[in-house]
Amino acid sequence: MKKEISAVNVSPGKIEIREFAVPDKFGSEDGLLKVEMAGVCGGDPGRYYGKASPFSVFPLIMGHEIVGRIEEAGEALCKGFKIKKGDRVVVESLTRCNKCFFCLTGEYQQCEAQVAYGTLVSSDQPPHLWGAYGQYMYIAPGSVIHKISEEMPAAAAVCITAVVANGIRWIRNVGQASVGNCVVIQGVGPQGLAGIIAAKESGAYPVVATGLTIDQKRFELAKEFGADVTVNVEKEDAVKVVKEITGGTMADLVLDVTGNRAAMDTSLRLLRKQGTLVYSGRAGKEPVPMPVDDMVSREIVFKGAFTHNIKGVAPAVKLAESRKYPIEKMVTHHFPLEKAEDAVKMVAGLGGGERPGKVVIVP
């Protein structure tokens, strides 16, 4: 039987390279992916250290930002997504049961019986390859697959599902951004940069991006992606800046991807009356104080945003293939599979003071 290797998070703070048998028997709706590249999500360090919200699973093959080639696929899987062996694809991070209320209403990111690649299924569970930190990954029934072009840089492709698609869904579908809206993006990591792209594609103006002094390189990319104004919150008051550029009207929409508890108050103060705050930055398990009375009197709309679905991924594929934006520039660091632990630590902020953009693993 053919063997492969994957990076396994065996316990909090420890990753080992382990060998697994490659599955060789498939049904009509499952298959096998040969991994080309896997993104290291900002949430992966929480899983690595056993502090993920709501919980961590061990042992775990992480990796839910996935691009690769179809190695094997059942007849129904091929027919449903118009794919064949050898096709280059991205795989969404969540599967669907196609039976629960959320699947039947098209909101399968909330599926009640989903499989989540690289996050929720232990590698102890056959066929073991449940994440993309490896040479191969199992494609489970209910997966959502998108064929992509051969010409697209892998660094752009790996950003499609859980980065660009998130930005599109959070800004357009959840936040309802429209032409002429003032949109503020709190945070200029990959998720924030994707939000800037989605805001510009929605016709928003002005688009304001906030970050820290250490984010200088990210600010440069934010401007390249279309941010009209960037604000270093360690040197400027973001609320004052937005008040000045909007003539006191303030923002129609704020997307907060910081995961910083203190940023919540600023995000709310950036909004106009009846403005919308889309919050997707995990702030930890402790409650975050919110000025409820002020939110009520100003009729602020608060929306949590978890992840992507096909409504974000399908347009993200087209946008990436259009080459309108150099999405691949988000990726700043490449690690081989054997250095997966170093990649996760870099995203955790242990990269020797260096602030990375998108970190990826190349098996």
Q: What is the CATH number of the domain that holds 271?
A: 3.40.50.720
DSSP classification of residue 226: T
DSSP classification of residue 127: T
Residue 158 lies in a domain: no
pLDDT recorded at residue 52: 83
pLDDT recorded at residue 8: 98
Residue 77 lies in a domain: yes
Residue 114 lies in a domain: yes
List the structure tokens of 358: 């998108």
List the structure tokens of 223: 């401007």
Looking at the structure, do residues 272 and 351 belong to the same domain, yes or no?
A: no
pLDDT recorded at residue 160: 98
pLDDT recorded at residue 289: 77
Looking at the structure, do residues 204 and 279 belong to the same domain, yes or no?
A: yes
pLDDT recorded at residue 114: 87
Bridging pattern class, strands 88-91 and 183-186 = unpaired
pTM score, two decimals?
0.95
Residue 312 lies in a domain: no
176 residue type, one letter: Q
CA pair distance 186, 242, nearest whole angstrom? 12
Looking at the structure, do residues 296 and 330 belong to the same domain, yes or no?
A: no
| 21: Cα within 13 Å, side-chain hemisphere | 8
Range of the domain at 267: 164-304
Residue 159 lies in a domain: no
Looking at the structure, do residues 109 and 79 belong to the same domain, yes or no?
A: yes
Phi-psi region of 105 (alpha: psi -120 to 50; beta: other; left: phi over 0): alpha
List the structure tokens of 177: 């951004």
| 123: Cα within 13 Å, side-chain hemisphere | 29
Residue 13 lies in a domain: yes
Q: What is the CATH number of the domain that holds 107?
A: 3.90.180.10
Q: Give the chain's length.
A: 363
Number of domains in the chain: 2
CA pair distance 205, 209, nearest whole angstrom? 12
The total of other beta-carbon atoms located within 10 Å of residue 317's CB is 23
CA pair distance 174, 217, nearest whole angstrom? 28
Looking at the structure, do residues 328 and 218 belong to the same domain, yes or no?
A: no
The set of residues, in sequence order, having a beta carbon less than 8 Å from that of 105 and lying 6+ positions away, is: none
Looking at the structure, do residues 145 and 170 belong to the same domain, yes or no?
A: no
Task: Give the strands of the sheet with 229-232, arranged side by side.
Answer: 229-232, 207-211, 183-186, 251-256, 271-279, 301-304
CA pair distance 132, 136, nearest whole angstrom? 7
Tens-of-pLDDT digits for all 363 residues of the chain? 899 999 999 999 999 999 999 999 999 999 999 999 999 999 999 999 998 876 789 999 999 999 999 999 999 999 999 999 999 999 999 999 999 999 999 999 999 998 999 999 999 999 999 999 999 999 999 999 999 999 999 999 999 999 999 999 999 999 999 999 999 999 999 999 999 999 999 999 999 999 999 999 999 999 999 999 999 999 999 999 999 999 999 999 999 999 888 888 999 999 999 999 999 976 666 677 788 899 999 999 999 999 999 999 999 999 999 999 999 999 999 999 999 999 999 999 887 666 899 999 999
Residue 255 lies in a domain: yes
Looking at the structure, do residues 181 and 284 belong to the same domain, yes or no?
A: yes
Looking at the structure, do residues 177 and 285 belong to the same domain, yes or no?
A: yes
The total of other beta-carbon atoms located within 10 Å of residue 203's CB is 11
